């Protein structure tokens, strides 16, 4: 079993915003009770994720008893949510009880801790590959049906490795500053549940007073953030807050600006805390590299070295390994945490391991003479908006579906998507549409009206000509 | 531009709303665009508009349209 809570069953696994504590013993017992509601083994279970004890009860029980969860964002646009459910037709849903009536074609079987298990009325048992443990979304917000297939070995290996390099133990008390459908947020949960630590579950964000109240009252020891969260912390004058219990700050989910890397590194050094820049992808379960905190200020801009059990290589355009430092190529990762592959439809869940431990990351990288790695760009067309991957081609397709005959091209930089159109009258509408459809704040989108879309003689869009707008 | 106009401008631009929505009921999370990201953007816009640096506590208790005016006038000498 992935989560064996028996050796620390008296520990508290979670404390919620109402100060209610939940023990590992209860998580174990109710997990077993929940599992009694299944009539078949190896079911596909869709989880609508929130940082609550109920959500984690389903998640841990499903993984322990061989049911396979699909983790979906609770804030996903409803049209996209139902399309995702329709695509995979999961036999069971595990959803907040207050939302159960939204799901037509499902009936309730069990409820615990404000979550309910719903069973599909026209339930059909489907075959799932024996090693398949968990399914995570990649480009969550566009509602793409593309899921990352993770095995039991993947989760176990990555969890163990992260615990080792972050030195996590049962006295650790992280606060949930990231959603748990997101691989980085989930890795925080996995590593602490396996160590017997206590999760401080909160619905508040770092921009709310209540969040910091929880941090202080509960003696939170660590916080995890994507680059945008660190920008918020900086704006909040985080450095002046008195947070004695906080010892560890981790960062992943995109490249932090050099300025903030240095600023937080300096702050950590002066206040005796650890600031750890990391690198990962859902395709590698979560984590592939980390910058040891003692090297934080020596290696600004670096994402560090491979995690225990992992290995990097950088390859040139002919797939030959680059051995000269400071030479850019595509980053390759090897390790037991490399996912099995992708799924786009139900049949794909029978697929076996397509990657065999090797991941082409799609990130362009180099290493220095001391073996520290740096990400310098991306091979594929996507951006990270507030830590979440957004595929630019998929976004263009969404717009094309809903705005017929509109010339539209997407580009941009992390946290700022540029949408180029030629029809001025659609400017406001596009901004609103994307913000609602992709559920990002409108400030993440900059709609620019241009005379015509730049194309080469064969009609291919010249994305590089649009980069002058990103400055 | 008067201080009130600057203040209103920041809200309308960041939250993509009209002047009619600038009421005493406008609060954090009362509209979709005033989320944590929107809050940070609003603070950035106000700091720039009034050339001020806001304190942590003021950013965290800035919970509504009227409360913000109170904070700016009490702690940053912005008169409305």
* pTM higher than 0.95: no
Please check whether residue B43 is in contact with residue A235, taking contact to mean a CB–CB distance below 8 angstroms: yes
Q: Is residue B47 part of a domain?
A: yes
The CATH class given to the A382-470 domain equals alpha beta
Q: Is residue B80 part of a domain?
A: no
Q: Could you tell me the CATH number of the domain that includes residue B67?
A: 1.10.1200.10
- Give dist(CA A257, CA A230) in Å, integer: 10
Give the distance from residue A235's alpha carbon to the nearest chain B alpha carbon, in angstroms.
8
- Flag whether pLDDT at B1 surpasses 90: no
CB contact under 8 A, B56 and A237: yes
pLDDT digit string, tens, across residues A176-198: 999 999 999 999 999 999 999 99
CB contact under 8 A, A207 and B55: no
Contacts of B37 in chain A (CB under 8 A): 228, 386, 440-441, 443-444
Closest Cβ opposite residue A441 in set B28, B37, B44: B37
Q: Is residue B7 part of a domain?
A: yes
Contacts of A444 in chain B (CB under 8 A): 37
Q: Which helix (H) or strand (E) holds A82?
A: helix A78-88
Q: Is residue B11 part of a domain?
A: yes
Contacts of A440 in chain B (CB under 8 A): 37
- Interacting residues of B1 by C-beta distance below 8 A, sequence separation 6+: B9
CB contact under 8 A, B40 and A205: no
Q: Is residue B66 part of a domain?
A: yes
Mean pLDDT of A31-37: 98
Give the model's confidence band at A375: pLDDT under 50 very low, under 70 low, under 90 confident, else very high. Answer: very high
pLDDT digit string, tens, across residues A53-72: 999 999 999 999 999 999 99
Per-residue confidence (pLDDT) for residue A367, from 0 to 100: 98
List the domain range (segments joined by +) for residue B67: 3-75
CB contact under 8 A, A441 and B61: no
Give the model's confidence band at A447: pLDDT under 50 very low, under 70 low, under 90 confident, else very high. Answer: very high
- Chain A residue with CA closest to B61: the answer is A209
Give the model's confidence band at A230: pLDDT under 50 very low, under 70 low, under 90 confident, else very high. Answer: very high
Please check whether residue A372 is in contact with residue A291, taking contact to mean a CB–CB distance below 8 angstroms: yes
Percent of chain A with pLDDT over 90: 84
Complex confidence, ipTM: 0.88
Give the model's confidence band at B66: pLDDT under 50 very low, under 70 low, under 90 confident, else very high. Answer: very high
Give the distance from residue B9's alpha carbon to the nearest chain A alpha carbon, in angstroms.
15
Spell out the domain ranges in chain A.
Answer: 15-128, 382-470
What letter would DSSP give residue A93? E
Residue B47, classed as helix, strand or coil, is helix
Topology of A15-128 in CATH? Rossmann fold (3.40.50)
Closest Cβ opposite residue B61 in set A209, A232, A435: A209
Number of domains comprising chain B: 1
Please check whether residue A410 is in contact with residue A421, taking contact to mean a CB–CB distance below 8 angstroms: no
Mean pLDDT of A337-343: 97
Contacts of B28 in chain A (CB under 8 A): 208
pLDDT digit string, tens, across residues A78-114: 888 999 999 999 999 999 999 999 999 999 999 999 9
Mean pLDDT of A27-54: 97
């Amino acid at each position: 079993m992935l989560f064996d809570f028996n050796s620390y069953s008296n520990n508290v696994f979670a404390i919620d915003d109402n100060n209610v504590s939940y023990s590992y013993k209860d998580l174990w017992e109710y997990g077993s009770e929940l599992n009694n509601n299944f009539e078949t083994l190896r079911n596909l279970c869709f989880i609508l994720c929130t940082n609550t004890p109920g959500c984690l009860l389903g998640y841990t029980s499903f993984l322990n008893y061989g049911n396979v969860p699909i983790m979906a964002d609770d804030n996903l646009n409803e049209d996209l949510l139902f399309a995702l459910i329709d695509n995979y037709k999961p036999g069971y849903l595990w959803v907040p009880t207050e939302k159960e009536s939204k799901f037509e074609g499902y009936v309730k079987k069990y409820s615990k801790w404000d979550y309910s298990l719903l069973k599909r009325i026209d339930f059909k048992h489907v075959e799932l590959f024996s090693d398949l443990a968990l399914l995570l979304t990649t480009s969550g917000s566009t509602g793409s049906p593309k899921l990352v297939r993770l095995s039991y070995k993947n989760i176990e290996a990555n969890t163990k490795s992260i615990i080792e390099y972050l030195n996590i133990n049962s006295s650790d008390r992280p606060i949930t500053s990231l959603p748990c459908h997101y691989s980085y947020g989930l890795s925080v949960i996995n590593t602490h549940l396996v160590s017997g630590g206590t999760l401080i579950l909160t619905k508040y964000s770092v921009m709310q007073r209540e969040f910091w109240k929880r941090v202080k009252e509960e003696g939170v020891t660590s916080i995890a953030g994507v680059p945008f969260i660190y920008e918020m912390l900086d704006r909040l004058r985080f450095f002046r807050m008195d947070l004695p219990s906080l010892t560890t700050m981790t960062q992943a989910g995109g490249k932090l600006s050099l300025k903030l890397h240095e600023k937080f590194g300096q702050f950590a050094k002066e206040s005796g805390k650890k600031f750890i820049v990391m690198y990962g992808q859902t395709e590698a379960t979560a984590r592939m590299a980390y910058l040891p905190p003692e090297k934080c200020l020596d290696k600004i801009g670096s994402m560090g070295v491979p995690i225990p059990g992992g290995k990097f290589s950088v390859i040139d355009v002919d797939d030959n390994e680059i051995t000269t430092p400071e030479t850019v190529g595509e980053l390759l990762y090897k390790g037991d945490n490399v996912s099995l592959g992708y799924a786009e439809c139900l049949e794909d869940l029978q697929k076996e391991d397509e990657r065999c431990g090797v991941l082409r990351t799609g990130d362009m990288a180099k290493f220095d003479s001391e073996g520290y790695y740096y990400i310098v760009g991306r091979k594929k067309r996507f951006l990270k908006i507030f830590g979440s991957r957004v595929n630019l081609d998929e976004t263009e397709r969404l717009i094309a579906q809903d705005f017929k005959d509109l010339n539209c091209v997407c580009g941009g930089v992390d946290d700022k998507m540029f949408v180029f159109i030629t029809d001025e009258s659609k400017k406001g509408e596009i901004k609103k549409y994307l913000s609602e459809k992709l559920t990002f704040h409108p400030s993440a989108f900059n709609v620019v009206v241009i005379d015509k879309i730049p194309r080469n003689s064969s009609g291919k869009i010249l994305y590089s000509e649009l980069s002058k707008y990103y400055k | 531009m008067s201080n009130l106009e600057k203040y209103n401008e920041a809200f309308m631009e960041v939250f993509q709303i009209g002047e009619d929505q600038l009421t005493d009921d406008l609060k954090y999370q009362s509209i979709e665009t005033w989320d944590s990201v929107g809050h940070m953007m609003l603070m950035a816009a106000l700091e720039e508009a009034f050339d001020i640096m806001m304190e942590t506590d003021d950013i965290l208790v800035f919970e509504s349209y009227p409360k913000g005016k109170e904070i700016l006038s009490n702690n940053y000498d912005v008169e409305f």
